[in-house]
């Protein structure tokens, strides 16, 4: 597509055939936001044509850099259309509405990163092997078609309800190999990607490096160098030795697999096909490993959301009775006791999401979960004190989300348990539940709050940087204009001096001739 093509233009037949002509708002209902990113938002939705649950990634191409955003959308759609593998996210089509592209994909419960967030501890080795095996099969498929993911990390390895492992978020992917763009997320980035601008190109082995870093992330809850700022980490990755698994309790197979992925020289690093034969992945393991992990995570999410919900109720009640400074120490103790009881807490801090660095306007997608409805009379009265309209109320890292167009909150399998309801409110709830599909996820409500805050902070930072860049461009423009003006004045003065010098020379020459004539007459 020509780089100067207008954003949203479908005059090019090749571009027009990438998008369905239907109005997506008439096809997809029950939209619920499940993620934030620099590109826009991700939604849970239901297709009315077949009642299928899907995920919709909305990407705006209006405003600043609209042409670049439009080209990024076209690039991602073209990439997704090519994917046909059980371990890559299934693409279902793209629609356009009001300067926004709706990318429709299969719905996943969450990512491998969400597992770490919920349990607050590393995964077991057999679980890491199962997740890594699925992701590597997806990578081997990409690499066999000369494609590169370029943003492999736990946050982009997704899990479905049946326990399938899927590679997701292809906003940074390259449709050809080799490539040379500086693209990816800093802590997971291969050395040759960092050096590509200076030293040439790279291929699919950069994904193998990122998978090795992801293994460490799953084993230690964060990637190496995560305590450094991104720029320092990039320098360290490019210049220093490869990282290693820190704990000694991991098997030799696992340690060897990670070491193989993290060979500093790309030629020494095995391909994804070769790694699929590694003993770490081929060791016998229960077929239900991921299913069991998902179920355990669902149970933890339900309990954590129940505790957070009760804590929120108590805070609201105490603020209504005693003012906004009231505390709920018993609820805090209850949350902490649950985490210790279930073994889902340790001394490490929670892992945080890190935005991808990419020339593309796309970014990684994330998903969120909400607390459940408080539709009984007492709960509704308490929440009404804090909430008006369809906005979000946060307090002590708890969150309650109202859905546009709905009076109630999400009704899902992880619904916080309700107190006995009146017959009228219970009837309303039953009627409401009958008209909805269950909304399943493996993310807690508290994670929603943090991700929304991080998204807002990132947006504010991007706005500041954009303002700084505009000021810098304006300053450079003014500086250039001043330099041109001074250069013109200098040329003008130089010309004037040259003319004056020439006049003086002519005057001196005339006087010399007159003096010579006078001397000749005298003689």
The helix (H) or strand (E) run that includes residue 510 is helix 445-522
| Nearest Cα residue to 166 out of 195, 134, 192, 143 | 134
∠ CA(239), CA(241), CA(247), 5° rounding? 140
Contacts of 60 (CB under 8 A, 6+ apart): 39, 40, 69, 99, 100, 101
Contact 78, 1 (CB under 8 A): no
Label residues 427-466 b or e (16+ Cβ within 10 Å = b).
ebbeeeeeeeeebbbbbbbbbbbbbbebbeebeeeeeeee
Contact 197, 167 (CB under 8 A): no
Only one residue has tokens 């994917």, namely: 83
**What distances in angstroms separate CA 334 from CA 414, 475, 498, one per listed residue?**
18, 57, 90
Backbone angles phi, psi at 190, to 5 degrees: -75, 150
Q: Which of 151, 373, 379, 411 is flagged as catalytic?
A: 151
- Tokens read off for 9: 């233009």
| Nearest Cα residue to 146 out of 229, 207, 99 | 207
Query: Is residue 121 a known part of a binding site?
Result: no
Known active-site residue 151: yes
Q: What residue ranges in 137-193 does DSSP mark as E strands?
A: 157-159, 165-167
Strands 52-60 and 91-97: unpaired
Contacts of 518 (CB under 8 A, 6+ apart): none
Looking at the chain, the number of H-run helices and the number of E-run strands are 17, 10
- Tokens read off for 474: 């304006």
Contact 142, 148 (CB under 8 A): yes
- What are the catalytic residues? 151
* Residue list, annotated binding site for ATP: 58
* Residue list, annotated binding site: 58
């Amino acid at each position: 597509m020509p780089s100067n093509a207008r954003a949203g233009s479908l005059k090019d037949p090749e571009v027009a055939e990438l998008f369905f002509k239907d109005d997506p708002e008439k096809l997809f209902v029950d939209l619920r936001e499940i993620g934030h990113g620099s590109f826009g938002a991700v939604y849970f939705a239901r297709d009315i044509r077949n009642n299928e649950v899907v995920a919709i990634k909305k990407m705006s191409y209006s405003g600043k850099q609209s042409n670049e955003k439009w080209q990024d959308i076209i690039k991602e759609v073209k990439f997704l259309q090519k994917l046909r593998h059980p371990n890559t996210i299934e693409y279902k089509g793209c629609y356009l509405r009001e300067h926004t592209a709706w990318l429709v994909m299969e719905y996943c419960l969450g990512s491998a990163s969400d597992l770490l967030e919920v349990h607050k501890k590393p995964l077991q080795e057999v679980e890491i092997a199962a997740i890594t095996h699925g992701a590597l099969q997806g990578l081997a498929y990409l690499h066999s078609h000369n494609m590169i993911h370029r943003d492999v990390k736990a946050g982009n390895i997704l899990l479905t309800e049946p326990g399938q492992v899927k590679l997701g978020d292809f906003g940074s992917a390259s449709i050809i190999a080799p490539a040379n763009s500086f693209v990816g997320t800093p802590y997971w980035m291969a050395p040759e990607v960092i050096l590509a601008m200076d030293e040439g190109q790279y291929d699919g082995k950069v994904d193998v490096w990122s998978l090795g870093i992801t293994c460490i992330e799953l084993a230690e809850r964060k990637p190496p160098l995560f305590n450094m700022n991104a720029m320092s980490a990039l320098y360290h990755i490019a210049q220093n030795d490869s990282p290693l698994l820190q704990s000694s309790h991991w098997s030799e197979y696992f340690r060897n697999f990670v070491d193989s992925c993290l060979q500093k020289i790309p030629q020494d690093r095995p391909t994804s096909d070769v790694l699929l034969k590694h003993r770490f992945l081929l060791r016998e393991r229960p077929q239900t490993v991921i299913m069991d992990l998902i179920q355990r995570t669902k149970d933890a999410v339900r309990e954590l959301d129940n505790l957070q919900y009760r804590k929120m109720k108590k805070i609201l009640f105490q603020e209504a009775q005693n003012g906004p400074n009231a505390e709920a120490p018993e609820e805090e103790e209850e949350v902490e006791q649950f985490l210790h009881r279930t073994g889902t807490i340790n001394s490490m801090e929670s892992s945080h999401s890190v935005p991808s660095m990419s020339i593309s306007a796309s970014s990684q997608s994330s998903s969120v979960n909400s607390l459940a409805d408080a539709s009984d009379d007492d709960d509704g009265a308490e929440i009404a004190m804090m909430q008006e309209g369809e906005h979000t109320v946060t307090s002590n890292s708890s969150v309650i989300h109202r859905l546009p167009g709905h009076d109630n909150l999400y009704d899902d399998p992880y619904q916080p348990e309700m107190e006995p309801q009146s017959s009228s409110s219970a009837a309303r709830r039953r009627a409401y539940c009958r008209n909805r599909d269950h909304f399943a996820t493996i993310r807690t409500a508290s994670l929603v709050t943090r991700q929304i805050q991080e998204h807002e902070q990132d947006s504010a930072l991007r706005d500041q940087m954009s303002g700084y860049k505009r000021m810098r461009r304006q300053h450079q423009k003014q500086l250039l204009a001043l330099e041109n003006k001074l250069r013109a004045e200098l040329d003008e003065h130089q010309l004037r001096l040259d003319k004056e010098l020439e006049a003086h020379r002519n005057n001196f020459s005339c006087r010399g001739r007159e003096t010579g004539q006078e001397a000749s007459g005298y003689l």
